[in-house]
Amino acid sequence: MFIPLVDILRCVKPHAETWLVASIERADDRFIIEGTLGCPTCLAEYPIRDGVVYFSESPSSTPTVSPDESEAMRLAAALGLTEPRMTALLYGTWGAQAQLVRGFSPAQLILLNPPPGTTSGDGVSVIVSEKMPLAQQSLDAIAVDESFGRLEESGIATLPALRRGGRLLAPVSTPMPNGFNELARDDEVWVARVDDREMTSAPILPTRRTRA
């Protein structure tokens, strides 16, 4: 877990949003490798093991997906991840593209319930949780996979975490939530913005590169 991102993490217990306090046992540069996050309100503790923050011990059911350079490029472009100060959440199978996305973007990436074996480091922070552990309006962009429709049922309410003007990418099979304006769409995904302010330009979704 990237140390500066601890400030936007929140306790998942049912009480008012609470900052968490990090106890670091081992760190590498600015990443926590081993440690604990503690809630000063309810005294809940969440372990950090091998750089992964566990708000839930439930193993991820996200299927394994192979990294794909063209997919990662499309993702970075669609979410507009151009600034190092930006923070994006990649949910589920999108997490498989994180390391490649970092090759195109300086933004910090948070992976929520990524495919098994996904690791933290080099601008990528991994979280396992059954509920949303991020503060409201703390993210610049979110990408969700086909499981988006089940997020509310599982307790992971992602959308309040988006800042005003933030972007959401989802599969075309996913209905667009209220309060979003569509910016771009192709045969596989759509991209929308969280408010209705006029855009000076809309993102262009790069097409897939076909392999010979």
Q: Quote the pLDDT of residue 173.
A: 87
**Domain range 69-193, CATH class:** alpha beta
pLDDT of residue 59: 61
State pTM to two decimals: 0.87
Query: What integer pLDDT is reported at residue 131 of this predicted model?
Result: 86
Contacting residues for 85 by C-beta, under 8 A, at least 6 apart? none
CB count within 10 Å of CB 208 equals 14
The DSSP string of 27-49 is EETTEEEEEEEE-TTT--EEEEE
Residue 61: the pLDDT is: 76
What residue type is 105 in one-letter code? S
pLDDT tens over the chain, length 212 residues: 999 999 999 999 999 888 899 999 999 988 999 999 999 999 999 999 999 999 988 766 788 888 999 999 999 999 999 999 999 999 999 999 999 999 989 999 999 999 988 888 889 999 999 888 999 999 999 999 887 666 555 555 677 889 989 999 999 988 888 888 999 999 999 999 987 554 334 444 444 433 33
In eight-state DSSP terms, residue 10 is: B
pLDDT of residue 154: 52
Q: With H, G, I as helix, E, B as strand and everything else as coil, classify residue 191.
A: strand
- 3-state secondary structure (DSSP) of residue 21: strand
Nearest to 100 by CA among 123, 129, 126: 123
With vertex at residue 114, the alpha carbon angle to CA 162 and CA 137, rounded to the nearest 5 degrees, is: 10
How far, in Å, CA of 36 to CA of 21, rounded? Answer: 8
Rounded-to-integer distance, Cα 96 and Cα 118, Å? 7
Task: Give the containing element (helix H, strand E) for 129.
Answer: none
Give the Cα separation of 10 and 21 in Å (integer). 10
In the chain, CATH 3.40.50.150 sits at 69-193
Q: Give the SS3 label for residue 101.
A: helix
